[in-house]
Amino acid sequence: MKKYLTILSIFTLILSLQSCSAQNTADSQIVNSLVSSEEFTFHAERANPMNYDVINALGSMPNNPSTRILQLDAGSYSIELKKEKMEVVLPYFGRAFNSTYGRSDNSYRFTSKDYTVTKSQSKKGNWIFKIKPNDVNNVSDINIEVYKNGKAFTSIRSNDRQPITYDGYISKNEEIKPTNSK
């Protein structure tokens, strides 16, 4: 009976690990079509600040581990990349060197219509997008590395802030249908 119980528990563990690894992954053909069109949306699931002072401050909060704070709401934060414009809505955790007077929101929220995209492929087959917005003053470049399963890693380097990275996945851009009003 003990043998059956251990075999059953091992089988259950293997199934649960397999189902966890399959979450939010896409077919490689879908990922390749999104990458080749250069039109996709990066959905951020987790923020990774580079400043250990921020991580230590988040960890010192009572009854609230820092890992939960850095887990982002699904669908709330993204980078939408289109041919004619790029919309960025991402939170920021870190040190800003030049803050704007009267502005309480220090997150990345902007729309760029003048930007350059350089696409390359790594030795492992991952796609790397280097985006340089020309009409945004404080962001110098955005790097998005897209893996074969649809997961993605994004880093933002800014002129007035410490760098920050995000983990997430890519998907097809949502099509907004025009409403017919009479």
Confidence of residue 19 (pLDDT cuts 50, 70, 90): very low
Per-residue pLDDT, averaged over 28-50, amounts to 88
pLDDT at 36: 87
Could you give the domains of the chain?
A: 26-171 (2.40.128.410)
Q: Which two tokens stand for residue 38?
A: 């250069």
Confidence of residue 33 (pLDDT cuts 50, 70, 90): confident
Residue 28: strand pairing partners: none
Per-residue pLDDT, averaged over 121-130, amounts to 91
Beta strands in 24-177 (DSSP E): 40-49, 78-81, 86-90, 108-112, 115-121, 127-133, 139-146, 151-158, 164-171
Confidence of residue 166 (pLDDT cuts 50, 70, 90): very high
Strands 40-49 and 78-81: antiparallel
Quick check: 78 pLDDT over 80? Answer: yes
The C-alpha angle with vertex 39 and arms to 34 and 43, in degrees rounded to 5, equals 80
pLDDT digits (tens, 9 = 90+) for 138-156: 889 999 999 999 999 999 9
Distance CA 126, CA 110 (A): 27
pLDDT digits (tens, 9 = 90+) for 85-107: 999 999 888 777 776 666 666 78
Q: Which two tokens stand for residue 51?
A: 């400043």
Residue of higher predicted confidence among 26 and 32 = 32
